[in-house]
A and B are shown apart, each in its own frame.
Chain A
């Protein structure tokens, strides 16, 4: 549904901020931008359950807060479980007549660590139980808050502070990024999508669809981290676009099990164009580069097939 969002579409975006300025994220943080866009997409009738991580730390140092919506943080690995609890709590009280009925979006959010690693089980449980909630993963592909350690969302070949170069190890991540959107699709939930703040209107639209979904919904947002990816802070949006244009991070949505690519006729650019500008991939061996390309092509073709485009 990109078509109706014409040149004036940006004017339709909510002008009110729910994740307000003054937070302490790094310069050029595309994750903070993504959070801001999600806030705009959802409006004020929302309850946020946030995992420990960058977005929690930069936005909530007492007595400051950047949140102009009800926001709750407890631990690192339980954002989805806490969100499912808020859903149950509100639901029971509305049913028993103690709270008025009000359309409320229950949002769980976490970084890639809080989603694909330590929060994986809680998320799987919450999605499987079918709570009426949505979960957003802000994926910057490593534990950036603690200082750029690898997570299971760290891509092949990336350098992190726990995949260092040593005498017998070239210092590259050897495993392929965990395919979280696909795992969520396997939970048979009604809505799964990928998004990137480099494409803000698409992101907003998908988040709104997730919010309107009855039952669990999941949005995986690639959130470029200039600090951890070793790129100049003004390049975050550009790198995000390259991730999509090279097929490294395909944009798609899966509605009730049906795949739909966001860009139908994308001519993929070589992944080298995406990898080269990033310090975390500096000096990547040619065979690793090839392996990376191979994996991206395979994954992309697989998605095209599933979407009926190939």
Chain B
């Protein structure tokens, strides 16, 4: 029997990690990730979770401890945000290249400066190329499900890669939502014990983290790339498997009322909720508009994206980070590149908005739609982008 509870998403995330019977949690406090790790430490202190909770002295050490722990075959979790991710940056890349199945929740927050604790996606974009699996979540249930799911995918011997679950800081971490907690039997059925591919243990002398000379470096990178690409089939199969248990099926590119739509919004994370309400309203007004929510960020779901945009005349990509001096926001640049070889590729318009938690309302989405449709702003055309709502 499952139960639906009204709970803060951070608490639910921690409970899900606890249900996964994690062995080691290492974390350094940073807003807005704190409630997740605080609750995990409470669970350990109360004996609800048999794990080592390591309150490290920096995020660099949080991921380093996670590497050490995961390398011994222990199920390992860490959690960070923004500057914390920047501090642990080098170790995130190492965890991926070492093929360590660490699960990390990333409570998305803007990267300073100026200093800001609020939500956008500038943190995760800085580790886009680390070689870990990366997904975005849209609501509390989504977060809960994926905290358990992430372990299953990461630890699959065919994958053995870190798994980063993005959840928007405050917009998700600090809101109370009705969330269905999994039944213990579900977890038992879904998530087997971790059987590591390799393990640091005195029983076997293995060398991990060897020096890669130029004669082997390219091959190591290629093998890593292939592992991440191959992970996609596991990602899909495991979503199916989870759906068969929970009744909730997830997809790399979630589609909302896209049937026959000429214009498609494309969002990441919690913006999908507000955008879907806008789509409802616009459709009521007779507009031909739908919504794509990019859930799987790495490996990039090229195939599914092409399928999803087929027939659309325009895609409005919402970016929540800046690529200074680049060719648009990081997501738009990627989408444009992914669609380049399409025979009739849609026009891509790109809005950078919602930086550092600035509200983007239904009205704003409607306005962006209007701007794109009428091309009222000269810079709203292919290859360019607009800082939406900026005061200049």
Contact = CB atoms under 8 A, between A and B. Distances in A.
Do A and B share a complex?
yes
Given A81-B56, A81-B64, A129-B54, A89 B213 contact: no
Interface string B43-71: 00000001110111110110011111111
Contact of B98 (A47, A65, A68, A74): A74
A67 B64 contact: no
Interface in A73-94: 73-75, 77-78, 81-93
A67 B210 CA distance: 11
A65 B60 contact: no
B50 A89 contact: no
Contacts of B374: none
A120 to B, nearest CB: 11
Q: Which label, helix, strand, loop or mixed, suits the secondary structure of the B interface? A: mixed
Contact of B58 (A44, A60, A63, A125): A125
Contact of A93 (B26, B74, B202): B74
A264 interface: no
Contacts, number: 167
Given A62-B211, A74-B209, A85-B66, A47 B57 contact: no
Interface stretch (A98-106, A207-215, A270-278, A289-297): A98-106
A61 B210 contact: yes
B202 A70 contact: yes
Nearest to B62: A81
A42 to B, nearest CB: 10
A45 to B, nearest CB: 4
B86 interface: no
A227 interface: no
Contact of B69 (A45, A85, A95, A128): A85
Interface in B206-251: 206-213, 216, 220
B202 A78 contact: no
Contacts of A121: 57-58, 60-61
B104 to A, nearest CB: 14
Contact of B72 (A45, A89, A102): A89
Interface in B176-215: 193, 200-213
Nearest to A77: B60
A234 B173 CA distance: 62
A99 B204 CA distance: 14
A91 B203 CA distance: 16
B29 to A, nearest CB: 14
Contacts of A67: 205, 207
A71 interface: yes
Given A84-B68, A92-B51, A44 B202 contact: yes
B121 to A, nearest CB: 26
A57 interface: yes
Contacts of A56: 211
Contacts of B60: 77-78, 81, 121-122
B70 to A, nearest CB: 7
A69 interface: yes
A72 B200 contact: yes
A92 B65 CA distance: 13
Contacts of A83: 68
Contacts of B56: 81, 125, 129
A74 B251 CA distance: 34
B208 A73 contact: yes
A84 B65 contact: yes
Given A45-B202, A85-B68, A60 B50 contact: no
B23 interface: yes
B202 A89 contact: no
Given A70-B202, A89-B24, A75 B64 contact: yes
A149 interface: no
Contacts of B94: 74-75
Contacts of A75: 64, 90-91, 94
Contacts of B212: 62
B61 to A, nearest CB: 4
B54 A62 contact: no
B210 A60 contact: yes
Contacts of A70: 200-202, 204-206, 208
Contacts of A231: none
B72 A73 contact: no
B210 A62 contact: yes
B354 interface: no
Contacts of A45: 202
B76 interface: yes
Interface in A95-152: 95-96, 98-99, 102, 104, 121-122, 124-126, 128-129
A39 B65 CA distance: 23
A194 interface: no
B73 interface: yes
Q: Which of B23, B56, B209, B213 has the most CB of A within 10 A?
A: B209
B147 to A, nearest CB: 19
Contact of B57 (A82, A92, A122): A122
B207 A124 contact: no
Contacts of A95: 50
B58 A47 contact: no
A46 interface: yes
A246 interface: no
Nearest to B217: A62
Contacts of A160: none
Contact of A73 (B55, B58, B210, B220): B210
A154 interface: no
A60 B207 contact: yes
A49 interface: yes
A122 B209 contact: no
Interface of B: 23-24, 26, 50-52, 54-58, 60-61, 64-74, 76, 90-91, 94, 98, 193, 200-213, 216, 220
12 contacts: A45-B202, A63-B216, A68-B205, A72-B71, A72-B200, A74-B67, A82-B64, A92-B69, A93-B23, A99-B201, A121-B58, A122-B60
Given A88-B26, A98-B193, 8 more contacts: A47-B72, A62-B220, A74-B91, A81-B64, A88-B68, A89-B74, A92-B23, A126-B61
Lowest 4 CB-CB distances: which A-B pairs, in order? A85-B68, A125-B57, A89-B72, A89-B74
Interface of A: 44-47, 49, 56-57, 60-63, 65, 67-75, 77-78, 81-93, 95-96, 98-99, 102, 104, 121-122, 124-126, 128-129
